[in-house]
Amino acid sequence: MTETSTSLVRTAAELDASGGRKGPRAVVMTMGALHEGHASLIRAARAAAGTDGQVVVTVFVNPLQFGEAADLDRYPRTLDADLAVAGAAGADVVFAPAVDEVYPGGEPQVRIAAGPMGERLEGAFRPGHFDGMLTVVAKFLHLTRPDVAFYGQKDAQQLALIRRMVRDLNFPVEIVGVETVREPDGLALSSRNRFLDAQERHTALALSRALFAARDRLAAQQALHARAQTTSATTGRAAALTRLGEARAAADTQAVARARPDDGPTAVRAAARMILDDAAAEQPPLALDYLALVDPADFTEIPDDRTTGDAILAVAARVGATRLIDNIPLTFGADT
């Protein structure tokens, strides 16, 4: 990717004057402190916009999304570095307005309500967060008027709510989710990772390890079920193998014979929970907020007897003073 000459604009009027494009406008909305995860969104936006389009990256720390003033003050501001990251990834414009540009009359009295989905999981632990998020996203969609907007899958509940808002309120924009980017050790990239010391980071790795363990357990469960559909193995054969001293083969045969597709959600939750429980005994400990296996459409819990369809396994926890979230998409009933 050739580095783009990126301009910084501070007002909506300056953003409007930055036009002149022939192709589509693609937008990536951020709160700054850009990292490789954001860069992957910008690269995807560049590919969608093409050489004749325009890529706009917004940088705005939205006060409506923070429940405590201390969290708002603590959020990193790194605009100079953000401009470099955005330019290297292919952005044409960085739109970094002041608070009074976005909220000229002070905090808005009319806001977007996230509804029931916004009260689950993250919404339950951060009341009002999603109302503030949707309000600023709606404003930036109006201010930037994109053809397509890109958001990270790491914030899966946020992405689902934005998609729902766009559909329910008829915003003329395509919403695209981009896969979570991870560090080599598996930790999902986040601006909050910089707050972790070495021991805290070690504990925090339990989030991704739990998700990967659940994914692998589901794959194994579905592979066993697939074999159960095609093999003539029975528990009787297992007993015969045991008598011959082939205990390992017998155990495998029994697992195949007993495999049931509706064990999936239970097995997924158990595999993740085991790792998170172990991390709770680490020093420093992992303090779990939630582990939830949910429907991607509305973030309601998946029932234990679910045998087909998509799901998201989501986790949130605190390590020291830092709160982290992560998730992984799963598909029940997938071909193996």
Residues with a known catalytic role? 38
Measured CA to CA in angstroms, residue 165 lies from 62, 126, 173, 301 at distances of 18, 19, 11, 21
238 residue type, one letter: A
CA distance 19 to 37: 26
Strand order across the beta sheet in which 309-319 lies:
286-294, 309-319, 322-332
Indicate the pairing of strand 286-294 with strand 322-332.
unpaired
CB–CB of 212/231 below 8 Å? no
Measured CA to CA in angstroms, residue 295 lies from 158, 210, 263, 265, 309 at distances of 14, 19, 17, 12, 9
- For the record, the structure tokens of 215 come out as 């994914």
Tokens 């679910």 identify what position? 306
CA distance 190 to 335: 32
Q: Number of C-alpha atoms within 13 angstroms, CB side, residue 266?
A: 7
Question: Residue 157 CA to chain centroid, in angstroms?
Answer: 7
Instruction: State the burial class of residue 171 (Cβ atoms within 10 Å of its Cβ: 0-12, 13-18, 19+).
Output: middle
- For the record, the structure tokens of 169 come out as 């309120």
310 residue type, one letter: D
CB–CB of 26/146 below 8 Å? yes
Tokens 């194994």 identify what position? 220
CA distance 152 to 290: 20
CB–CB of 24/49 below 8 Å? yes
